[in-house]
Structure 1
């Protein structure tokens, strides 16, 4: 790949990230507490997200993706992830967690997506922990119609 093409990719990434600037979170504001899941492409964590303007923090979920490959591969993956983040940031649905923010390290080898931490886990975990039959009211809540 020619240097000019690489610079075009870099500009493309910067253009997409500029639209997400309000969601960018500094790495030092994310304090990892517990590994929830691990996989070959990334990990999920329970973490504290510190408020940069006060001493308060809140519990969040962090999905950390490991990006491998050469510079061109990593920048292409970063562009794709940034576009997906842009879509996620616009979603407003009771069954889709809100995107709180993201962190992308300068080498583009690590991307972190931050969303609210749900105490009861995913739907399967919740139903497994909840004894008894699923009521009609709960069914309606689960599908977002209540």
Structure 2
């Protein structure tokens, strides 16, 4: 019987680009631009240089990639001392993120030893001036939300086709590129199926977590990603987070266990009604009852054609907007 491959125990055994010395923080004295559960994010610049080693291939169309100086996000672990647990976090995130190449995935540029804390390298990715998907929509309320949902579905399908579980899908982990493309990021809780060494217990944001993740010995799965996708899309479509009336995690978990889900507004547009029926298949209580993301993406594509037909007869005044 074949043994499952295992992720390395040493970061140096991974295949990534070492860009130490080529990235600088724009303002070394500034506070973080963003903070997460265990890391801070700073803005910097990546001087790609002229050598082959430093050329960053333009995988998706982005004008900023053509310049020699690239604006980047510098993710720094917030730790008092270097320890084995933090190193494992770094190894797992690098092992997953460095292998991903898709137009709807935030690109991983490499690691920089000189920008981390206590010898733990910083993770470098392109800086997205448009911010997260909800920040983007706040500034552009008339943008085509359905287009964004399609792009997110494409990104999740790419991950699942490659047997990658995202594990922390939510609006704050979806950034918007210079051209308005949704980019999946936040791979700190992701893992590769059929690989040993990924033992992260579910510990994400309750509003987007599937009910089975609140159980003992729970593990992230493709089905739990689909649930989170459905919750994320409901927020993108309506502008309201799931269970917006609850602020405490315990209250949200109780509502999830009772079977509560985001409600479709009444009355609602025909467009919203059709989308909601699809989202309901994403957040079914039992994981095996949820559609795989490939079917979800296929059905979303069919909805595009339906919406176009409704537009032709004047039943959708503005495509993609409530």
Instruction: Decide: shared fold, TM above 0.5.
Output: yes
Aligned partner of 2:24 in structure 1 is 31
How is 1:1-146 mapped onto 2 (pairs within 5 angstroms)?
12-13=9-10, 16-20=11-15, 22-26=16-20, 28-33=21-26, 35-38=32-35, 41-53=38-50, 56-69=68-81, 74-104=83-113, 108-132=118-142, 134=144, 136-144=146-154
SS of the residue corresponding to residue 135 of structure 2 reads helix
Number of residue equivalences: 129
5+ residue gaps, structure 1, are 1-10
Change (3 A) 1:130 1:79: same
Higher relative contact order (CA 8 A, sep 6+): 1
Change (3 A) 1:107 1:138: closer
My pick for the range that moved more, 89-98 or 131-140, is: 131-140
- Considering only CA atoms, is the larger Rg found in Structure 1 or Structure 2? 2
Q: Deviation at 1:126?
A: 0.5
SS of the residue corresponding to residue 33 of structure 2 reads strand
- Aligned CA-pair RMSD: 3.2
Q: Deviation at 1:58?
A: 0.9
1:65-98 deviation digits (Å, cap 9, x = unpaired): 13334x6xx2442133123201111123443211
SS of the residue corresponding to residue 93 of structure 2 reads helix
Tell me the TM-score normalised to structure 2 length: 0.34
Change (3 A) 1:96 1:135: closer
SS of the residue corresponding to residue 82 of structure 1 reads helix
Change (3 A) 1:108 1:75: farther
State whether residues 75 and 108 of structure 1, in contact with CA within 8 Å, keep that contact through their aligned partners in structure 2: no
Change (3 A) 1:89 1:133: closer
SS of the residue corresponding to residue 107 of structure 2 reads coil
